[in-house]
Every structure is written in structure tokens, then in C-alpha cells.
């Protein structure tokens, strides 16, 4: 009975704080309760909801949502409702919303939640991170954390002055959990098999290319994007957005769990930017809005279209390895192929490619540079040695070996979020990020923001 009364008092006190009675929070990840209590702030990107696609025993089902208006959180709320009402493995999230111009004060200064989820305005994200850190809340944020040099400087200050008691800041790097990337990383780092990356092959040893689309479907339904998505001053240009995933893969594949020294390990060689033209009809189809908001005035052309600088290409050197990364956004996938991705890794004994196969399924191909009759046997042995990926096989066609991956090993892009969340929970229990993870984040955002600052504008670039 005493405990019930105490719990009731605590609940009432928390409710009063949420309503703005001036309570000062003093809750952090280092408290006695290690369970996660989510605070979702201004979730203008659907990735905020993907964090909650599945139940997680480490997360309380009660989630506090803070936004300026209902509209800012509408897409998030719709996806959460979809997850709660689905027939298979429904979730049971109870979202407690607060809407108002003072949502930031309510979100960060109230005594609710200990983990802030951020996915939305990338320009303001560093400000939200700052509020979170000052109020003792950990941060689990969609990429990119910053989109310019000023933002990088603030992020670097957080990491450089952090202590064991400091809140955690972690960005959602989903691509590490793609089975194809895991296979590529393992084979490349099997030096006896691959011979190691060929740093001196006369071309970029690693190349990433990706194509994305403004108009697309998510969880089987048309994705409604906020108008902000077309404002690169808030969203960030192509050089500082999707590139974060591929830079992270470069670090993760070539320098896994090894701390990166920005001054010694990174050299930016070149960077370019160009725009995608979005018509008014395209904009309405994507956002549901018939008119451009004022925030997009600087992007409007004389013809009434939008020039969106969503595309970028950079070349850099990482620990002696020459790298090339290109990202392009088209309006819509007219051929219905959807988003596309390809990567090439030149090793001394082989060339590894991740690209669409004849059925347009992104697959892993291994092309031997010299086949002395033992390559196939060596490849099979290397694949069999990959931990937690049973059943891998190969088929040879036109001089290349295609890796056959059992369907059960594939995870969707959305399901990768659950994997990243598991890693975040593990780091949170350990009370700190590993030093190599911190260095990865700093080196990643240093490179993207430097590339944008030094980029040359061009008319068009083949992907």
C-alpha cells in the first residue's frame, strides 16, 4: 500500500512537471533505473518512428512526444498507430504528446525521459543535442548530427570535454547491419584470402555510389515528406547527409574498432555539388502541399521549380586508401527499381562489388584478379568462416562469383533500426561509448562538413 501511494505521488509529480510547473530535471543515463524512457522531439522525419517499430524489453511503452504543432508530428503519430494496430507483432506504445511553441522547454527541462530521439530538422539537431546534454539526457539521433562546420565544432566540443558521467550521443548508422556489408567487410579483412586493399592500384580503391528518390513508399504506404526536406539549409546538402552512411562504412570496414586520428588519417582531395530540379507537381505529390512555404524561397527558379542541392561527390584518402563517394537524388523511380546502391572494393587478389544482379537484387560479387584453380575453394572457406551467417553459397557466372545469401539473413532497412538500438542499449549499460565510436563520429562529420565548405558547384554529374 505504501508503495502504491508512493508510485501515485511520483506519477502526479511527473504529470505536473510535464504541464510546466517549473520542476527541474535531474535524470540521466547514470541513474539507478537503466530502463529507457523515450523523449521524441520534433519528429519531422519518419525515421523517428522506425526506432519504435518493434517492442524492446529495455524501453518503457510510455513515450513523451514534444513538437511545436500537431502537423510536425503527424507522420510520426501515424506510423506509431500503424505499428500498434498491425495484426502481426503489434506494439503497445502509449504516446503522450505536448504541442506548443515552448516545446523545447517542456522537452528538456521537464522530469520526463532519459533518452532523446531526434529525426527532423538537421540544422537544429545540434541545438537539440546541446539541450539534451545540458539536462542529462542521452541522445539517439538520426543522421546527420550536423550539416556545417559550426555544427561540427559544437559536436567536437561535446566529445572532447566529455567525462564518464556525460550523457551519450549516438547516431543511427544502420548500414553496418546489412548482411552484404558484413560479408564484404569480413572478406576484405581476411588478408590471407583478399590480400588486403590495393592502395596503389592507380584508381580509387573503394567507390560508393547511391541513388535515392524524393517520392517513395515506406511500410507499404506513400511517404509524405515535410517541406523542410527540400530546404537544404535545414536538411543539409547531399554532401553532408546520406554520405555519412558510406563514410561510416569505410571506417567500419577498413579500420574497425581502431581510433581515427583526423589530422593523420584523413585527407580531402575534392568535392562537388549539383542540384535536382523538383517541379511544383512533384512537390505537391511528395508533401501534399499546393504552395511552396517561405522557407523554400531561396531554392525557387524563375520557372517556378525548385533547385535542390541534394547531390554530391567527394574523393578523400583514409589511412592511405583512396576513396570516392557519390550520392544522387532523383524525383521518382520511374522504372520502379527504387533506391539503388553500388560499391566497389579493389583488393590485391580480387575485386569485390555490391550491385544489382540480373533480377535487380543488390548482391555481392567476387571477381578474382588471378585464378590459379584454388580461388573458388578459398572463397568457400572464407565464407564458411563468417560468424553468424550460416548457409552462404556461391555461383560462378561470367568470371565472377555471386554470393548466394539465404533469405532469412536479410533485414530490411527499417529492421536495421532495431539492431542499432540494441547496440545503443549495450553502450548505455556500459555507461560510455568506446573511444573508437567517438572518433568515428568526429572523423565522419569533420569530413562531410569540410567537403561541403570546399565543394565546387557543377551543372550535373553522372552517378
Per domain, the residue ranges of the chain are: 25-172, 175-457
Query: Residue 21's pLDDT is what?
Result: 35
**Digit-coded pLDDT (tens) for 379-430:** 999 999 998 999 999 999 889 999 999 999 999 888 899 999 999 999 999 9
As a whole number of angstroms, the distance between CA 364 and CA 390 comes to: 16
Query: Residue 339's pLDDT is what?
Result: 86
Is the pLDDT score of 281 beyond 60? yes
Average pLDDT over residues 27-41: 71
**Digit-coded pLDDT (tens) for 112-151:** 999 999 999 999 999 999 999 999 999 999 999 999 999 9
Identify the H or E element spanning 366: strand 362-368
Query: Residue 343's pLDDT is what?
Result: 98
Is the pLDDT score of 7 beyond 60? no
Percent of the chain with pLDDT over 70: 92
Query: Residue 1's pLDDT is what?
Result: 42
More confident residue, 291 or 13: 291
- Residue 1 is classified by DSSP as -
Beta strand segments in 17-161, E: 38-41, 62-67, 94-99, 115-118, 138-141
Model-wide pTM > 0.85? yes
- Match 506494439 to its residue by C-alpha cell: 91
**Digit-coded pLDDT (tens) for 341-351:** 999 999 999 99
CATH class of 175-457: alpha beta
Q: How confident is the model at residue 111 (pLDDT cuts 50, 70, 90)?
A: confident
Q: Which three cell numbers stand for residue 418?
A: 532495431
Query: Residue 23's pLDDT is what?
Result: 36
Q: How confident is the model at residue 460 (pLDDT cuts 50, 70, 90)?
A: low
Is the pLDDT score of 9 beyond 60? no
**Digit-coded pLDDT (tens) for 192-215:** 999 999 998 888 999 999 999 999
Query: Residue 461's pLDDT is what?
Result: 47
Q: Under a CB-based contact definition with an 8 Å cutoff, are residues 415 and 425 in contact? A: no
- Residue 88 is classified by DSSP as S
What's the mean pLDDT when you consider all of the chain?
A: 90
Percent of the chain with pLDDT over 90: 78
Average pLDDT over residues 34-44: 94
As a whole number of angstroms, the distance between CA 330 and CA 209 comes to: 13
Q: How confident is the model at residue 335 (pLDDT cuts 50, 70, 90)?
A: confident
Average pLDDT over residues 275-289: 95
Q: Give the CATH architecture of domain 25-172.
A: 3-Layer(aba) Sandwich (3.40)
Query: Residue 110's pLDDT is what?
Result: 79
Query: Residue 176's pLDDT is what?
Result: 96
Query: Residue 219's pLDDT is what?
Result: 65
Query: Residue 130's pLDDT is what?
Result: 96
Count of H-run helices and E-run strands, the chain? 15, 18
Sheet with strand 456-457: strands edge to edge: 393-397, 400-404, 362-368, 350-356, 340-346, 206-215, 321-332, 306-318, 266-278, 456-457
> Within the chain, what is the greatest distance between any pair of CA atoms?
78
Query: Residue 387's pLDDT is what?
Result: 85
The 8 Å CB, 24+ separation contacts for 184-188 are: 184/253, 184/343, 184/345, 184/352, 184/354, 184/364, 185/252, 185/253, 185/256, 186/382, 186/385, 186/386, 187/352, 187/366, 187/382, 187/383, 188/253, 188/254, 188/345, 188/347, 188/352
Query: Residue 255's pLDDT is what?
Result: 93
The burial of 350, by beta-carbon neighbours within 10 Å (0-12 exposed, 13-18 middle, 19 or more buried), is given as buried
Amino acid at each position: 500500500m505504501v508503495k502504491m501511494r508512493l508510485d501515485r505521488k511520483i506519477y502526479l509529480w511527473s504529470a505536473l512537471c510535464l504541464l510546466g510547473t517549473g520542476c527541474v530535471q535531474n535524470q540521466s543515463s547514470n541513474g539507478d533505473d537503466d530502463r529507457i524512457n523515450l523523449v521524441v522531439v520534433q519528429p519531422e522525419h519518419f525515421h523517428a518512428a522506425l526506432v519504435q517499430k518493434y517492442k524492446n524489453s529495455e524501453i518503457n511503452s510510455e513515450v513523451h512526444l514534444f513538437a511545436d504543432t500537431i502537423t510536425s508530428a503527424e507522420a510520426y503519430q501515424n506510423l506509431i498507430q500503424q505499428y500498434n494496430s498491425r495484426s502481426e507483432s503489434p506494439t503497445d506504445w502509449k504516446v503522450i504528446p505536448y504541442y506548443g511553441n515552448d516545446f523545447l522547454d517542456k522537452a528538456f527541462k521537464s522530469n520526463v525521459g532519459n533518452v532523446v530521439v531526434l529525426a527532423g530538422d538537421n540544422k537544429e539537431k545540434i541545438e537539440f543535442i546541446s539541450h539534451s546534454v545540458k539536462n542529462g539526457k542521452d541522445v539517439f539521433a538520426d543522421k546527420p548530427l550536423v550539416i556545417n562546420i559550426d555544427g561540427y565544432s559544437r559536436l567536437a566540443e561535446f566529445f572532447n570535454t566529455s567525462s564518464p558521467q556525460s550523457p551519450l550521443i549516438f547516431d543511427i548508422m544502420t548500414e553496418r547491419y546489412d548482411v552484404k556489408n558484413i560479408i564484404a567487410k569480413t572478406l576484405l579483412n581476411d588478408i590471407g584470402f583478399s590480400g588486403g586493399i590495393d592502395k596503389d592500384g592507380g584508381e580509387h580503391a573503394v567507390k560508393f555510389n547511391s541513388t535515392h528518390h524524393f517520392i517513395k513508399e515506406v511500410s507499404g504506404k506513400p511517404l509524405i515528406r515535410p517541406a523542410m526536406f527540400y530546404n537544404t539549409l535545414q536538411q543539409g546538402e547531399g554532401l553532408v547527409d546520406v554520405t555519412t552512411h558510406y563514410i561510416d562504412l569505410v571506417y567500419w570496414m577498413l579500420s574497425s574498432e581502431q581510433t581515427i586520428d583526423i589530422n593523420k588519417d584523413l585527407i580531402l582531395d575534392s568535392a562537388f555539388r549539383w542540384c535536382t530540379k523538383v517541379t511544383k507537381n512533384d512537390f505537391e505529390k511528395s508533401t501534399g502541399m499546393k504552395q511552396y512555404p517561405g522557407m523554400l524561397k531561396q531554392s525557387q527558379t524563375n520557372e517556378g521549380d525548385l533547385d535542390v542541392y541534394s547531390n554530391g561527390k567527394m574523393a578523400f584518402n583514409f589511412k592511405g586508401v583512396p576513396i570516392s563517394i557519390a550520392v544522387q537524388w532523383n524525383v521518382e523511380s520511374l522504372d520502379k527499381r527504387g533506391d539503388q546502391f553500388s560499391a566497389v572494393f579493389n583488393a590485391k587478389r580480387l575485386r569485390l562489388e555490391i550491385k544489382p544482379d540480373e533480377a535487380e537484387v543488390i548482391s555481392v560479387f567476387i571477381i578474382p584478379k588471378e585464378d590459379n584453380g584454388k580461388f573458388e575453394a578459398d572463397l568457400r572457406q572464407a565464407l564458411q568462416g563468417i560468424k553468424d551467417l550460416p548457409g552462404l553459397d556461391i555461383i560462378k557466372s561470367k568470371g565472377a562469383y555471386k554470393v548466394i545469401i539465404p533469405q532469412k539473413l536479410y533485414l530490411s532497412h527499417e529492421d536495421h533500426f532495431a539492431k542499432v538500438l540494441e547496440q545503443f542499449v549495450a553502450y548505455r549499460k556500459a555507461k560510455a561509448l568506446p573511444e573508437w565510436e567517438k572518433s568515428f563520429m568526429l572523423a565522419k562529420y569533420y569530413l562531410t562538413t569540410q567537403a561541403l565548405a570546399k565543394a565546387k558547384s557543377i551543372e550535373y554529374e553522372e552517378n
